[in-house]
Amino acid sequence: MPPALIPLALVALGVPAALRAALGRPRSLGAAWVLAAAAVALAQAAGEISGSRLGVLGDAQLLLAAIAALVAAFAVSVAEPRRRG
pLDDT value of residue 85: 60
Backbone angles phi, psi at 30, to 5 degrees: -60, -45
pLDDT value of residue 69: 95
Greatest extent of the chain over all pairs of C-alpha atoms, in Å? 49
* 3 three-state secondary structure: coil
CA distance 20 to 34: 15
* 36 three-state secondary structure: helix
pLDDT digits (tens, 9 = 90+) for 14-47: 999 999 999 888 888 999 999 999 999 999 999 9
CA distance 42 to 80: 23
